[in-house]
Structure 1
Amino acid sequence: MQQVNPKSGTINLDPDKAEHGLAQLVLTVVELLRQIVERHAIRRVEGGTLSDEEIERLGEALMNLEEKMEELREVFGLEAEDLNIDLGPLGSLL
């Protein structure tokens, strides 16, 4: 996170907080995309457009991605709710 010194106009950056904020933003975008892909996959499964083998591979890929997201949240000390950015009048992102 950055802090501005109003007297000197300098910006003090804390590298640890900047890394955490960037990780939160990146993981939020990845989580949003994961949820979109998951919803699309469910529609395709329900629509009957996938073979049993494709359904199996898709399910495995989505589970692996979810596990990796959990690992990354742990590494950066984030909870699932930390990835839900408040968009003001539009509501929450996720």
Structure 2
Amino acid sequence: MSSNELAQRNSRINLDENNAEQGLAELVLTVIELLRQLVERQALRRVDGGSLTEEEIEKLGLALMNLEEKMDELKDVFGLDDDDLNIDLGPLGNLL
């Protein structure tokens, strides 16, 4: 097996019976991180577009910071880091 194939294999989610909880946590946190990034980008577009009040911008910023903190806590609980959530989608490249 080449080093490239080994790297691709290691960057995929592994859901076997011995580590199903870990693999499931990795999958769920990956989906949540993807959604968090999409929401963050949309929020920045709305801020740049001027369609939010100062109060809405403040609330949105706090909500996004809190979500990021929770994600960091969950990654710690399951022993994951940002690279673990960036799964390989084969020919499409990495997810995040």
TM range (shorter): 0.7 to 0.9
Q: Whole-Å Cα distance in 2 between the matches of residues 85 and 20 of structure 1?
A: 14
Runs of 4+ in structure 1 off by over 2 angstroms are none
TM superposition shift of 1:47: 0.1
TM-score by length of 1: 0.85
TM superposition shift of 1:26: 0.1
Aligned to 2:42: 40
Aligned to 2:52: 50
**What's the RMSD between the two structures over aligned residues?**
0.7
**Larger Rg: 1 or 2?**
1
TM superposition shift of 1:35: 0.1
TM superposition shift of 1:48: 0.1
Q: Which has the higher contact order (CA 8 A, sep 6+)?
A: 2
Indicate which of 11, 22, 25 corresponds to 1:23: 25
TM superposition shift of 1:41: 0.1
Which runs of no fewer than 5 residues in structure 2 stay unpaired?
1-14
Q: Give me the identity figure in percent.
A: 71
TM superposition shift of 1:82: 0.5
Q: Whole-Å Cα distance in 2 between the matches of residues 85 and 54 of structure 1?
A: 33
